[in-house]
Structure 1
Amino acid sequence: PYLFTLVYVITCYKNPFSVTGAPGQCPDLCHCHSDLLHVICFNVKLKKIPRVSETTQLLNLQRNNLGNIPTGAFSDSKGLISLHMQNCQLREIGSQAFKGLTKLAYLYLSNNEITTIKPGAFEDLTGLTYLYLDGNQITELAKGLFSPMINLFILQLNNNRLRELRPGTFTGAKDLRWLHMANNTLTTLQPGSLDEVENLAILHLDGNRMATYPIAAMSKLRVVEELTLSRNPMKTLPDLAFQSFGRYMERLYLDNMGLEKFSDGAFTGVTAIKSLYLDNNRLRTLPRSLEYGTLTNLTLFNNPWTCSCSLAPLKKWMDTTRIRTDALCASPAQQKGRQVRDSSAFSSCRPKQKKNRGKTKGTRQ
């Protein structure tokens, strides 16, 4: 979408003309493509949202001081497909602010001062696929706020002040695939809060304040490929933490958490993981349920590893891969400071015995 915008910004500046007046004319101070399909009002000190033609498809209002989006602000702009309002000092989005914009696919509201989104603010946005609300001051999301957005694909909520997610938050947004909520103040995801978006593929929750893994909310997810939990103060991860989407998860970020241990069954059902980030924690060992066969990237540095037979599966994987993973033994004392892959602590460890499924009664010659 950003490349899409850039192409048209360049085009508009190659063919600019300005005409003040009502819809059907290029707004004063703005630059327009010759057929008014694209209207660029970038950083021209606008105080109000200009009226543009119903034929306009792209409207760029970035870096103006607009304050709020009142009801019906775009009632004359029903042909809009892409609307850019980043860095406009917006504080409030009024009810029915985007009324009539059924064709809108891209809505950028990043880096404003939005604290309030009135109920019904997103009414009529049935065609929206990309919504960017990152870099604002949003503390809560009203139940059903996104319900008109039956085609929403990406939702950006990074760098806000969200404290919790409640059931019904994403009602209607059943096709949401990418949900970014990094760098908020989330302490909990209530059970049921992700039920309506069970098809999420990418979920970013890093940089929040969750001390407990929200297993009840996460267990409804089915196809998560990338999950980031970095920089949440979780000390432990429970059994079956990722089981509901373990067949699909390829990238898992658990770094910089103060993580001390996994329950032995934490990775039960995880069969496709390629990248696992565990650096900068307080881990001493890894759970038996972790399978190494699919890993192509594993970070382990800055953890106080105990080089004993519990880490033998990790050592075996290190011996059979070209990946150079930095992991130092912290104990026992005679191994302290040595790389796990070079440690002699595993020489007497017995390989895991396969279960005997019963003796064969006879052999065929």
Structure 2
Amino acid sequence: MRFFLLLCLLALGTAKPYQPINVMEFMKNYDLMMADDDENSDEDDNEDDDYDEDENCPAGCHCLPRVVQCSDQGQISVPEKIPEDTLILDLQNNDLTEIKENDFKGLNKLYGLFLINNKLSKIHPQAFRNMAHLRLLYLSYNLLTEIPANLPPNVIELRFHENKINRIQKDAFKGLRKLHVLELGANPLASSGIELGAFNGLSTLYVGMAEARLTAVPKDLPSSITELSLDYNKILKVEVEDFIRYKNLLRLRLGFNQIKSVENGSFVSTPNIREIHLDNNRLKKVPPGLSSLRYLQVIFLHGNKINSVGVNDFCPFRPGIKKNLYTGISLFANPVKYWDVQPATFRCVIGRRGVQLGNFRK
């Protein structure tokens, strides 16, 4: 069950982080109760049988066993007297401006905390103390300017989408060795705003930094990442040194940047990569080295300035070298004359629908 939960969270990494969370649907789909079944005793189950909503539920909230929903209530502060056995606390779409030191005091069993779409600009450094069981922390759509201190050590999904974060300080994520999803997209974060060592001690699978102000691929991200989203930035080029650290990378998104060139050998360090998005950039030719990527299945190059395609740009010269055939190559919205492209160019593609050409307009 835990393995399934982690796979679901990783899949959510590419979903829109700013969408409101339907807490009850979330509980139904991922069965968070079972995720910590070794830590929920029979005594806890008996307590649920005696649950009295009117007596235990904070004013203005709706409660179910271990779930407290206080969303869309115009709350200006965290409600008092939240039951100590609460697993899920929903505070979305309120007017919270600050999280104080003792707002979550006693909530040591908390598993998911949803603070999406508030007005938070300040979080006390000790606000998350004693939250060893917290796994999901959603802080998207707020006014935070930096990463809060002392984040819960066992969190597996952390979202800061669309805040005001323009700096990530050294050791900002130190100790988060169980993190799988880190979403930082839609923040005014420039390359110069990421301090050296900002990701020290962090082990994660997905990092999202789309819609920021990056001018280069960050080179100090966790080496464990398997998916990196950098769409809608201001990146100008891709260099060999960009991905040396990311040997486990499977999916790379660089669409809607200003990339004019990809240095030969840039993807040598990512031999297992499956999917590359380089659409809507300023490339004038197919990036070199794609034919050597044995497991690459999807490459998006539409919306560039590519005017020619070579017969060996995608497929290796020697048959049998490629382990996975392509399922998608997009080249539409380029000035390439599709009638000049040799049929053998796509000899390692599955089916005719695997290639998209044409539809170029000046």
TM-score (norm 1): 0.76
Secondary structure (helix, strand or coil) at the match of 1:6 reads: helix
**Residue 206 of structure 2 is aligned to residue 178 of structure 1:** yes
1:166–1:189 contact (8 Å) kept in structure 2: no
Question: Which residue, 216, 231, 234 being the options, matches 2:241?
Answer: 216
Aligned AA for 1:228? R
Describe the shift of the 1:140–1:180 C-alpha distance in structure 2 as closer, same or farther (beyond 3 A): same
**Residue 190 of structure 2 is aligned to residue 163 of structure 1:** yes
Inter-partner Cα distance in structure 2 for 1:319 and 1:46:
55
What residue in structure 2 maps to residue 142 of structure 1?
Answer: 169
Inter-partner Cα distance in structure 2 for 1:56 and 1:137:
30
| Greater RCO, 1 or 2 (C-alpha within 8 Å, sep 6+) | 2
Question: Which residue, 91, 94, 99 being the options, matches 1:64?
Answer: 94
Inter-partner Cα distance in structure 2 for 1:108 and 1:161:
19
Q: Percent of counterpart pairs with the same letter?
A: 24
Inter-partner Cα distance in structure 2 for 1:183 and 1:105:
26
Q: Which of the pair is proportionally richer in helix?
A: 2
Describe the shift of the 1:109–1:308 C-alpha distance in structure 2 as closer, same or farther (beyond 3 A): same
Q: Which moved more, 1:91-100 or 1:201-210?
A: 91-100
Inter-partner Cα distance in structure 2 for 1:29 and 1:76:
20
**Structure 1 residue 208: deviation in Å?**
0.5
What residue in structure 2 maps to residue 55 of structure 1?
Answer: 85
Describe the shift of the 1:82–1:49 C-alpha distance in structure 2 as closer, same or farther (beyond 3 A): same
Aligned AA for 2:298? S
**Structure 1 residue 242: deviation in Å?**
1.1
Inter-partner Cα distance in structure 1 for 2:216 and 2:350:
40
**Structure 1 residue 306: deviation in Å?**
5.4
Inter-partner Cα distance in structure 2 for 1:68 and 1:260:
49
- Which deviations, in whole Å up to 9, do the C-alpha atoms of 1:277-314 show, x marking residues without a partner? 110100123464532761111111111125798x5475
Question: Which residue, 59, 64, 67 being the options, matches 1:38?
Answer: 67
**Structure 1 residue 201: deviation in Å?**
1.1
**Residue 298 of structure 2 is aligned to residue 267 of structure 1:** no
Aligned AA for 2:67? H
Describe the shift of the 1:217–1:270 C-alpha distance in structure 2 as closer, same or farther (beyond 3 A): same
Work out which of the two has the higher radius of gyration on C-alpha atoms and give 1 or 2. 1
2:314–2:345 contact (8 Å) kept in structure 1: no
**Structure 1 residue ranges, 4+ long, deviating more than 6 angstroms after superposition:** none
Gaps of 5+ in 1: 10-14, 20-24, 331-335, 338-365
TM-score (norm 2): 0.77
Inter-partner Cα distance in structure 1 for 2:189 and 2:72:
29
Question: Which residue, 300, 305, 312 being the options, matches 1:282?
Answer: 305
Question: Which residue, 233, 243, 256 being the options, matches 2:258?
Answer: 233
Inter-partner Cα distance in structure 1 for 2:262 and 2:337:
19
Inter-partner Cα distance in structure 1 for 2:303 and 2:145:
34
Describe the shift of the 1:74–1:42 C-alpha distance in structure 2 as closer, same or farther (beyond 3 A): same
What residue in structure 1 maps to residue 115 of structure 2?
Answer: 85
Describe the shift of the 1:295–1:45 C-alpha distance in structure 2 as closer, same or farther (beyond 3 A): same
Question: Which residue, 144, 147, 161 being the options, matches 1:114?
Answer: 144
Secondary structure (helix, strand or coil) at the match of 2:207 reads: strand
Inter-partner Cα distance in structure 2 for 1:268 and 1:85:
45
Describe the shift of the 1:56–1:326 C-alpha distance in structure 2 as closer, same or farther (beyond 3 A): closer
Question: Which residue, 231, 244, 248 being the options, matches 1:206?
Answer: 231
Aligned AA for 1:226? R
1:30–1:39 contact (8 Å) kept in structure 2: yes
- Which deviations, in whole Å up to 9, do the C-alpha atoms of 1:104-142 show, x marking residues without a partner? 001111112222334x241xx121001111121211111
1:137–1:161 contact (8 Å) kept in structure 2: yes
**Residue 115 of structure 2 is aligned to residue 96 of structure 1:** no
Q: In angstroms, what is the RMSD of aligned CA positions?
A: 3.1
What residue in structure 1 maps to residue 39 of structure 2?
Answer: none
Question: Which residue, 315, 321, 345 being the options, matches 1:291?
Answer: 315
